[in-house]
Amino acid sequence: MSKNMMLFFIAGLALLLLAGCTQSQASSSSPPTQTPEAISTESFNVGLVTAMGGIEEKFFTRLAWKGIQKAGNLFPIETSYQESVSEEDFARGIDALVDQGADLIITLGAEAADATGAAAKANPDVKFAIVDAPSNAPNVRGIRFDVVGVSYMAGYLAGGMSNTGVVCTYGAANTPAVTDFMTGFVHGADYYRRQNGVDLAILGWDVYTKEGVFLQDATSEDEGYQMAQDFFAQDCDIIFAVARDAAKGSARAAQERNRMFIGVIVDWYEAFPEYGNVVLTSVMKNTDQAVFDTVAAVAGGSFRGGEDYLGDLNNNGVALAPYHRFESAVGQGLKAEVNQVRDNILVGLLRPSEPWIYEKNAP
């Protein structure tokens, strides 16, 4: 598109000039690359306490276990897991792994934070990592994800794919962990609107007042279904559902109304193939990569507790999922623009946590 060409040309030039700098300035929160000489040949034990739902829970557990298994193919580790059905199982599972002699224990989600912190303080010689939560003890590594930039890409994509000129989003709860997705999405869609001079309404989250649409019950598929139906009645044809299981209801509503759905945390096309025909893409937290990197840090002697690993666009900690069945529907031009948006974010030409105009009332 002609209005984009100049910015994209400048961005491409900036990429060439800054590529060396970008590659050499590794994120301080990401672990250093391990060399064969740095890897320990001494065996150690890695244990996982699953999220509620057991080893087959699809949002974090399945990928965390995949990351551990991948590490097991490269490093001399013994692996095991403890399944959780309720929050009370977090402490029980951690204690069981401590009793089994685990050297590294990985837990999942803010729900497990209290149990993880208490166990870490009681067992200072054991290393801990908690996915999707910050460190809360000197021997705990937090594993967090910066989702604003990749959500910006999803918003830009939605703007380019909408047929009705209305896109929408909602969240499971009004917390930063949720609204970071929504903010990136709104800013990305707004960037598409302003760059291309199109009419595009963006419903569900006001980035200025910090008011938006949220579930009353974060686990209710029925409420997720009704939420989507309400948006679709306002002509929204692409919904960005920032929720876990409740978002299945929204995907089902999208199927009934022939609308498009964007998921979060995992690639919904792969995790929930029953909704694959409406999944445009997903904003993924690459839990498997983050967990693998954490095990590698232990193997390489670079593990540090009391701080956080941040998965972002720079270290492949987050990513936009493939378009799958929409691969041919997303034109080559729009694909190139979405990729360029990513590059512009990486070199600092776009600030995804802020509106493109950087002020509310600019023309």
255 and 193 in a single domain? The answer is yes
* Dihedral angle computed from the Cα positions of residues 275, 316, 180 and 56, in that order, rounded to the nearest 10 degrees: 40
260 and 153 in a single domain? The answer is yes
Asked whether residue 24 is assigned to any structural domain, the reply reads no
Q: Note the pLDDT of residue 356.
A: 67
What's the total number of domains in the chain? 2
136 and 258 in a single domain? The answer is no
CB 158 within 8 A of CB 238: yes
pTM of the model: 0.85
Give the integer Cα–Cα distance in Å for 184 and 188: 6
Asked whether residue 16 is assigned to any structural domain, the reply reads no
Asked whether residue 363 is assigned to any structural domain, the reply reads no
Give counts: helices (H), strands (E), the chain: 11, 14
Q: Note the pLDDT of residue 166.
A: 98
Residue range 331-358: average pLDDT?
Answer: 90
15: confidence class by pLDDT, cuts 50, 70, 90: very low
Compute the chain's Rg from CA coordinates: 21
Asked whether residue 57 is assigned to any structural domain, the reply reads yes
Asked whether residue 362 is assigned to any structural domain, the reply reads no
232 and 277 in a single domain? The answer is yes
83 and 107 in a single domain? The answer is yes
Q: Which two tokens stand for residue 330?
A: 């997303």
Residue range 75-102: average pLDDT?
Answer: 94
93 and 133 in a single domain? The answer is yes
| Chain position carrying tokens 């974010």 | 345
The length of the chain in residues reads 363
Give the integer Cα–Cα distance in Å for 343 and 288: 23
Task: Find the range with the poorest average confidence among 13-17, 82-86, 111-115, 202-206.
Answer: 13-17
Run of H or E including 161? helix 148-161
Cα–Cα distances (Å) from 25 to 29, 255, 286, 314, in that order, read 11, 44, 21, 10
Residue range 325-338: average pLDDT?
Answer: 97
Give the integer Cα–Cα distance in Å for 340 and 344: 6
295 and 266 in a single domain? The answer is no
Asked whether residue 10 is assigned to any structural domain, the reply reads no
pLDDT > 50? residue 14: no
Q: Which residues of 78-90 are buried (b: 16+ CB within 10 A; e: fewer)?
A: ebebbbbeeeebb
Q: Which domain holds residue 115?
A: 36-146+287-311
CATH for 265: 3.40.50.2300
Asked whether residue 23 is assigned to any structural domain, the reply reads no
- Give residue 210's identity as a one-letter amino acid code: K
Run of H or E including 48? strand 44-52
179 and 113 in a single domain? The answer is no
Asked whether residue 211 is assigned to any structural domain, the reply reads yes
282 and 299 in a single domain? The answer is no
Task: Find the range with the poorest average confidence among 16-20, 39-43, 206-210, 352-356.
Answer: 16-20
354: confidence class by pLDDT, cuts 50, 70, 90: confident
Residues 208, 197, 236, 340, CA torsion sign: negative
